[in-house]
């Protein structure tokens, strides 16, 4: 087992407890969670709106600032995935299934019941698309960016575990490994699990509707439970296959099918009208985005705001630990500017095109009397997509394609969610045992099936939205901590040098320096160096420091060893030596090798006040001690310690 026991066991217990509560005490759970949500809408809506706007401005600021050139990883790192695979995976995990489920339904609902004004008019149709764009646009992905960017930076750039707690390191330091860090990670697990479970439960209704249309299969509980079992089995197989073989390939297949369905509706529908509407919708969104961002209906209270905008902001925030960690996991090697621009702009433009093609097609059918889409949405929202496709050519083929797409998007959401939960509960240890990934994938399916059977899904969905309130505070702290960390970077992008510079060579001979440049070290060699060279050297220093009346302790694990010297109110000095992996240059490995074979390893050191880590691979014990003394002297001088 490779787990973080407090996080793993408490998360599993709480998931079980919430599932049982939602299943056995369904009505009571719904009442409690609805009361909490009403309280949040009444008293904390301003916090949701202000923080969501702040996250968007923060992302845009980082994208345009000098920090945009900093890589999410050492300066020599390269992206693990090409742009096509990267976009496919982040989009599939982020909101792929959502736009299919709501692409027809939401514009129709805003058209018939707008927040202000009369419904069913041309003006209501235009506003319906603007509102839909607003809920699925820049703000949603900015929320994901805050979490994903903080995790990617602190993990790949600063060497911390890829877990939610790592983003708080600049604020609470090593206390992230204590109760505070455990609590943050447990909350992230619960939000991810309940988000996946509710999406599986609600989305399977749409799959059942597709099968009912195609094959006449009745819409019943047993059919839906069977579908959840099949989807869970597929997700489990994908998780077992791993990120490259399973999730990446399914995500690429998803995007391919989604593009095919999108082009089909665009070509068989009113093509020219849809293209004109796409351009006009974007213009209307850009013109309305600022005033609508800060609109709280403070002067004219409106229940629509809580049911729609605040619901979406809470939903995106509740999902941000899952989506943020996943897109962080697949974004190593990209610069901050590439990360933000890619995550913010490309999925948003594709979402806008999808919502225009499907939403405006449905609106046109409703307004011209071709199909009663509004009545269908009112009766059964999960049938809306198929009701629209029924009035286009080759309806059976397109409906089959849509049903397959819904299933695949659910598989990618479930398997990527299980992967993220496993990473959190294992303390980011990789690779974790297969059974752990299977456990979380199956758990999501079981929770979804139980709650669907007992009618508790809606209550749990409301709970997930309400749970976004405390995580808003965590995200604000993430922004502050990330900005503080970025300010310690050099004016030009810093990072981990491959070899020591003349200032950092600690008296290395020229033979040592040459060997450091040309050799690629396997992981076992670096772990041996930490155990046999670095640890004894720091133990010797610690003993001498303690003899001089200071408190000093050496902490050691397989992959790192550190010496911490306490100085009371002046703060501790830490000298940390750890392994660090690097991607091999393209000429150094052949296609077909495992990911481990594509990497080489080095020993790098970091001190409390250092702007970046430095390479100590090949240092002798004496040279490592010399390096410690030089940096410890700088620390004492900077802190004015006599």
pLDDT of residue 591: 37
More confident residue, 626 or 637: 626
pLDDT of 264 higher than 70: yes
Mind spelling out the 3-state secondary structure of 285-322?
HHHHHHHHHCCCCCCCCCHHHHHCHHHHHHHHHHHHHH
Q: What is the pTM of this model?
A: 0.76
Please name which of 438, 410, 41 lies closest in space to residue 195, comparing C-alpha atoms.
410
pLDDT of residue 487: 84
pLDDT of residue 123: 95
CB 107 within 8 A of CB 129: yes
Calpha distance 302→318 (Å, rounded): 23
More confident residue, 518 or 336: 336
pLDDT tens, 496-517? 333 333 444 556 676 766 676 6
Calpha distance 401→395 (Å, rounded): 10
pLDDT of residue 493: 36
Q: Which two tokens stand for residue 576?
A: 């940390």
Where does 390-534 have alpha helices with state H? 395-425, 434-454, 457-466, 468-487, 510-518, 523-529
Please name which of 596, 563, 571, 561 lies closest in space to residue 582, comparing C-alpha atoms.
596
Q: What's the N-to-C CA distance of the chain in angstroms?
A: 47
pLDDT of residue 55: 97
Confidence of residue 246 (pLDDT cuts 50, 70, 90): low
pLDDT of 615 higher than 90: no
pLDDT of 593 higher than 50: no
Q: Dihedral of CA 445/450/455/461: which sign?
A: negative
More confident residue, 354 or 224: 354
Instruction: Summarize the confidence of residues 202-230 as an average pLDDT.
Output: 82
Please name which of 305, 550, 325, 286 lies closest in space to residue 424, comparing C-alpha atoms.
325
pLDDT of residue 508: 67
Topology (CATH level 3) of domain 5-487: Amino acid/polyamine transporter I (1.20.1740)
CB 415 within 8 A of CB 239: yes
pLDDT of residue 134: 97
- Cβ neighbour number for residue 315 with a 10 Å cutoff: 21
Task: Locate CATH 1.20.1740 in the chain.
Answer: 5-487
């Amino acid at each position: 087992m490779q787990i973080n026991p407090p996080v793993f066991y408490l998360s599993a217990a709480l998931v079980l407890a919430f599932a049982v509560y939602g299943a056995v005490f369904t009505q009571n759970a719904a009442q409690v969670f609805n009361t909490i949500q009403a309280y949040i809408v009444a008293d904390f809506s301003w916090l949701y709106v202000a923080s969501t706007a702040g996250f968007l401005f923060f992302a845009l600021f980082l994208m345009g600032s000098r920090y945009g050139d900093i890589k999410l990883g050492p300066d020599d790192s390269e992206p693990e995935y090409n742009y096509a695979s990267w976009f496919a995976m982040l989009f599939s995990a982020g909101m792929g299934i959502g736009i299919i489920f709501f692409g027809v339904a939401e514009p129709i609902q805003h058209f018939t019941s707008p927040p202000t004004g009369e419904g069913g008019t041309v003006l209501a149709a235009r506003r319906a698309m603007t509102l839909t764009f607003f809920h699925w646009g820049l703000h949603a992905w900015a929320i994901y960016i805050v979490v994903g960017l903080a995790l990617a930076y602190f993990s790949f750039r600063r060497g911390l575990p890829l877990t939610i707690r790592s983003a708080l390191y600049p604020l609470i330091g090593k206390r992230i490994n204590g109760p505070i860090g455990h609590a943050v990670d447990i909350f992230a697990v619960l939000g991810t699990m309940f988000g996946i479970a509710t999406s599986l439960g609600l989305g399977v209704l749409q799959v059942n509707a597709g099968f009912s249309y195609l094959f006449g299969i009745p819409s019943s509980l047993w059919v839906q439970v069977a579908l959840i079992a099949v989807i869970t089995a597929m997700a489990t197989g994908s998780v077992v296959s791993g990120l490259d073989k399973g999730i990446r390939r399914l995500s690429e297949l998803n995007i391919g099918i989604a593009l095919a369905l999108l082009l089909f509706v665009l070509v068989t529908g009113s093509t020219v009208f849809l293209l004109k509407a796409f351009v006009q919708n974007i213009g209307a969104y850009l013109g309305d985005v600022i005033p609508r961002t800060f609109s709280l209906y403070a002067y004219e209270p409106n229940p629509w705001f809580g049911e729609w905008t605040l619901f979406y902001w809470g939903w995106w925030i509740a999902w941000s630990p899952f989506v943020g960690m996943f897109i962080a996991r697949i974004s190593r090697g990209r610069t901050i500017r590439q990360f933000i621009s890619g995550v913010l702009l490309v999925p948003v433009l594709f979402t806008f095109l999808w919502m225009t093609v499907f939403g405006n097609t449905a609106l046109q059918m409703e307004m011209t009397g071709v199909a009663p889409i509004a009545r269908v949405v009112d009766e059964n929202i999960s049938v809306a997509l198929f009701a629209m496709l029924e009035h286009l050519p080759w309806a059976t083929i397109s409906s089959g394609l849509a049903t397959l797409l819904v299933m695949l998007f659910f598989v990618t959401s479930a398997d990527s969610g299980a992967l993220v939960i496993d990473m959190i509960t294992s303390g980011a240890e990789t690779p974790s045992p297969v059974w752990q990934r299977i456990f979380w994938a199956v758990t999501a399916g079981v929770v979804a099936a139980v709650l669907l059977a007992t009618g508790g899904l809606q209550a749990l969905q409301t709970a997930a939205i309400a749970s976004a309130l405390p995580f808003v505070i965590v995200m604000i702290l993430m922004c502050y901590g990330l900005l503080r960390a970025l300010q310690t970077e050099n004016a030009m992008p810093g990072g981990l040098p491959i070899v020591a510079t003349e200032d950092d060579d600690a008296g290395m001979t020229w033979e040592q320096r040459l060997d450091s440049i040309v050799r690629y070290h396997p992981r076992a060699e670096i772990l041996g160096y930490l155990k046999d060279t670095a640890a004894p050297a720091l133990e010797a220093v610690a003993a001498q420091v303690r003899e001089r009346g200071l408190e000093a302790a050496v902490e050691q694990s397989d992959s790192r060893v550190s010496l911490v010297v306490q100085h009371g109110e002046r703060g501790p000095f830490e000298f940390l030596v750890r392994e660090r992996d690097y991607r091999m240059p393209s000429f150094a490995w052949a296609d077909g090798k495992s990911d481990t074979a594509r990497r080489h390893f080095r020993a790098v050191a970091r001190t409390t006040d250092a702007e970046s880590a430095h390479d100590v691979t090949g240092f002798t014990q004496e040279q490592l001690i010399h390096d410690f003394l030089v940096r410890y002297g700088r620390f004492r001088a900077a802190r004015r310690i006599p």
